[in-house]
Amino acid sequence: MINSLLEDEMIETTEKLKIKFRDATIKDLKEIQKIERLCFKYPYPTYYMRALLETLADTAIVAEIENEI
């Protein structure tokens, strides 16, 4: 989903998107890392992000559109 959103700088739609916010979990790590690599020149390493999710999970959230982060 994120790749298709990044292909165009701006998306025009008349459709309302339903965005669901929830606490991030270790199961989300792979998708979070994809976003990190797309957004930052120097993304956090996977081991560091895993440690953050394991120790500070209540401070991390993800947004889902159609059940995809």
Please check whether residue 14 lies inside any domain of the structure.
no
Please check whether residue 17 lies inside any domain of the structure.
no
- Domain ranges, residue 34: 26-69
Other C-beta atoms closer than 10 Å to the C-beta of 28 total 19
pLDDT in the model for residue 29: 95
Please check whether residue 18 lies inside any domain of the structure.
no
Please check whether residue 45 lies inside any domain of the structure.
yes
Q: Exposed, middle or buried, 55 (CB in 10 Å: 0-12/13-18/19+)?
A: exposed
Number of compact structural domains in the chain? 1
Q: What is the pLDDT of residues 15-63, one digit of tens each?
A: 788 899 999 999 999 999 999 999 999 999 999 999 999 998 788 899 9
Please check whether residue 63 lies inside any domain of the structure.
yes
pLDDT in the model for residue 26: 94
